[in-house]
Amino acid sequence: MRFLCLHGSGTNSQIFETQTAAIRYGLGDHHTYEFVEGALPSILAPEFNGIVSSKDEFFSYIDLDNVESCVSALVNLDTYISEEGPFDGVWAFSQGAMIAATYIVWKARQNTAQQRVAPAFKCAVFFSAWEAYDPDLLWKNLLRPLSLSNDGEVIHIPTAHIWGQCDVSSAKASSVSGICASGTKHVFVHPGSHEIPGARMNVAVKSSVRTIRRVISLAYEVHHQA
């Protein structure tokens, strides 16, 4: 599969490559990954202080204090996929997962019948997702998180949800899991915090790989049935 990869706020594509290296290695070399940098210059995410050089450049996709930036991020992502795609799936961390999940809902609402047959992505892997927002309200300059209780299951492709039990934003990741179809999602909660299991979390890496493999297999099954 060919995956589009979206990093977290205050990081960059190189950091996301490093974060996912152990899991990507575990999945084998028959997948390809395209890492896309955010457009907004940003300060380094606090969890990376002392880990990466502060002299590097860091980016975000959106500024939550400026709802228009959320709209721009969706439009820019749509343009990128149109020009550089198609992609079979998306891997996304934190803010990147927020953008990816919101984008999937946005595209599904544009043409529900088409997205059931030929969705924007066949599957999605969300690491420590930071909510998802109602895309219709973004165009009205309103920011409302999507939830199972208010919106139901609005993402119908196979999804993997991986987050840490010590993550202070774990409720947000769980909320994104809630709006995804229960029959085609797999969840793994690792013992860490707001991070992606790496080489020092060998057991969690193996469990993450198994979770993602299940979702990829589901994506193939669903695609062949369509």
- Active site annotation includes 167: yes
Residue 33: strand, helix, or coil: strand
- Active site annotation includes 94: yes
Distances in Å between the Cα of 56 and the Cα atoms of 19, 189, 202 are: 16, 31, 28
- Active site annotation includes 194: yes
Choice among 177, 190, 194, 208 that is catalytic: 194
Sign, CA torsion 131/128/12/118:
negative
Residue 94: strand, helix, or coil: coil
**CB half-sphere exposure, 213, CA atoms < 13 A:** 13
Choice among 7, 128, 167, 186 that is catalytic: 167
State both tokens at 134: 């109602």
Choice among 9, 60, 69, 94 that is catalytic: 94
Contact of 200 with 172, CB cutoff 8 Å: no
| Residues with a known catalytic role | 94, 167, 194
